[in-house]
Structure 1
Amino acid sequence: MNDGGKNDPLPVKTKDQVEHMVRNLVDSLAGDYGLKVDGRTVSKEFRDCFGREGEHADDGRFGLTYAVRATLPEAEHGKAIRTRRVGIPR
């Protein structure tokens, strides 16, 4: 029986590819506020992928937690929040 590929394995990116994508997103978001992230503060954790019932994926899937800091002067906090909330360009 052909399921049209419904149960085919999903494509899996490498850890390097995902980390690069995440860093680009972080840099883009920081750029919205005119900030530069501090690469020395990067905290990342790759972990195995588990399902709701505790099942373990053995096809290379993984999760990533990624955090980094950027300094925003206190005088800019309100402006940054309003910009993000309303979605208007700076």
Structure 2
Amino acid sequence: MSDDKDDPNAPLPRMSREDAQKWARHFTESMARTAQAPINDKSVRPDFSECVGKHDEVVDDGRFVLDYSARSPLPEAEHAAAVKRIRKELEKRGYDIESYDEMKGDAQVILRARSPKDNFYISVEAYGEQKSILYDIITPCLLPPGVKQKKI
């Protein structure tokens, strides 16, 4: 028996581009509060793209993916503690932590997580030379409300 995740025509979650961007902004701001490092508004980058299927299919019905990124300035000495706070909060909320790496020699801390419920992807990266934390949220393929989903 096939799982909905394997069905290319399974109903997509619905959200407008505006609501997706608001949600991603709220989520990154929440992580920044947890890190105790406010986001630099000039660093915010919402990037919308078409959904591409497993076999490179593209359907013209308005579906999209949002890759939303933002940075918080933060001294290198505070990176590991800040990312650990984010990890702890994500775990508390039931997110799957896919990886967590601290590379002291390279002054890097990288956290990757996924929402089991909504299937969005979270990446938090801190690099010493940049003296900042990069937050990246990638949504699953979303379909705007009121649009008929086309079949692949």
TM-score w.r.t. the length of structure 1 is: 0.73
Question: When you count strand as a share of all residues, which structure comes out higher?
Answer: 2
The answer to whether the aligner puts 1:78 opposite 2:95 as a matched pair is no
Determine which of 22, 27, 30 is the counterpart of 2:29.
Answer: 27
What is the deviation of 1:34?
1.3
**Percent identity (aligned):** 35
Matched with 1:66 is 68
Question: Any idea what SS the aligned residue of 1:31 has?
Answer: helix
What is the deviation of 1:76?
1.6
What is the deviation of 1:11?
4.2
Separation in structure 2 between the aligned mates of residue 11 and residue 73 of structure 1, nearest angstrom = 38
Larger Rg: 1
Paired positions, count: 82
- 8 Å contact from structure 1 (residues 12, 60) kept in 2: no
Consecutive unaligned residues in structure 1, runs of 5 or more: 1-6
Matched with 2:17 is 15
Separation in structure 2 between the aligned mates of residue 79 and residue 28 of structure 1, nearest angstrom = 16
User: Root-mean-square deviation (CA), in Å?
Assistant: 2.4
Letter in 2 for 1:71: P
Question: Any idea what SS the aligned residue of 2:61 has?
Answer: coil
**Per-residue deviation, residues 30-62 of structure 1 (Å, max 9, x unmatched):** 000112101111122111111011212333210
Consecutive unaligned residues in structure 2, runs of 5 or more: 1-8, 90-152
Separation in structure 2 between the aligned mates of residue 68 and residue 79 of structure 1, nearest angstrom = 19
Letter in 2 for 1:70: S
